[in-house]
Amino acid sequence: MNQLVLAVLAPVLILAGILGFVVPPQRALTSGAPAYNVFHLIFGVLGGVIALTGNDPAIGAFLIGFGLIDLYQAVASKRDLFPKTWFRWRWADDVLHVVVGAALVVVGMIGIITN
């Protein structure tokens, strides 16, 4: 299951990174900050490579790690922590970070426990 989740997540991250550069900020629900877009592109490519390896522990670790990063970003946005000034999160980013972050941690942990 973890491999499937990462195989879907990786292209979504890449697409989010690309769209962040293309969609005008006033029409976007989420931040279009260049650093945030690059972040999505890097982690999308990294996640895609890890998904292709089929290495279950690495895939689970990526999902849990990225989920924790997402949860941190929600906290950082509300507490004015790094990298808020570079990523310029919006309310939709915060909601996505909490929902996706929690889901990734749970899915990653279930995948590791069941393997």
Provide the pLDDT for residue 10: 98
- Is 69 within 8 Å of 76 (Cβ atoms)? no
Mean pLDDT (the chain, rounded): 96
Provide the pLDDT for residue 47: 98
Q: Using only C-alpha atoms, what is the Rg of the chain?
A: 14
Question: How much is the average pLDDT of 85-110?
Answer: 96
Domain with 104, as residue range(s), is 2-114
- What secondary structure, in 3-state letters, does the chain show? CHHHHHHHHHHHHHHHHHHHHHCCHHHCCCCCCHHHHHHHHHHHHHHHHHHHHCCHHHHHHHHHHHHHHHHHHHHHHHHCCCCHHHHCCCHHHHHHHHHHHHHHHHHHHHHHHHC
The predicted model scores a pTM of: 0.93
Q: Indicate the Cα dihedral angle 96, 99, 102, 103, nearest 10°.
A: -110
Percentage of residues of the chain with pLDDT beyond 70: 100
Judged against a pLDDT cut of 90, whether residue 25 lies above it is answered with no
Domain count, the chain: 1
